[in-house]
Amino acid sequence: HVQLVESGGGSVQAGGSLRLSCAASVSTFSGNCMAWFRQAPGKEREGVAFIYTGGDSTCYADSEKGRFTLSQDNAKNTLYLQMNSLKPEDTAMYYCAARPPGYGSSTWYLASYYNYWGQGTQVTVS
């Protein structure tokens, strides 16, 4: 059973920080590609960051480089997204997603390439 459960969202002031967590079932986490997406009202879902859990490959959207950092805890099958220097434009529902490897990192930001999704966690920056 594939399951992704996000947590850690909330309301913060601009300049603040949040750490999002994505707890995954073992089959989803180990050796797969995982990513964070976000979707603001009236906008398309956009890729935020990507990691291959079986190696060191990570990708970030240009607007998040230097502010957001991915990390993983293999013992807990959990992916984290540390978000610093948050801006109002970061306000969105944040989703964790997973897919098998083999599609290449050039497609990491395309939501259609992901098989599994969590229910989302809301981030509001004011």
- Dump pLDDT digits (tens) for 45-67: 999 999 988 877 889 998 888 99
DSSP code string of 72-101: EETTTTEEEEEE-S--GGG-EEEEEEEE-S
The three-class DSSP label of residue 6 is strand
* Structural tokens at position 123: 């981030």
pLDDT tens figures, 18-49: 999 999 987 777 788 999 999 999 999 999 99
Q: Which band of pLDDT confidence, cut at 50, 70 and 90, is reported for residue 124?
A: very high
Q: State the Cα–Cα distance between residues 17 and 87, nearest whole angstrom.
A: 10
pLDDT digits (tens, 9 = 90+) for 76-96: 999 999 999 999 999 999 999
At 118 the pLDDT is 96
71 has pLDDT over 80: yes
Q: What is the DSSP letter of 28?
A: H
Tell me the torsion sign for CA atoms 25, 78, 55, 103.
positive
Report, in angstroms and rounded to the nearest whole number, the Rg of the chain calculated over CA atoms: 13
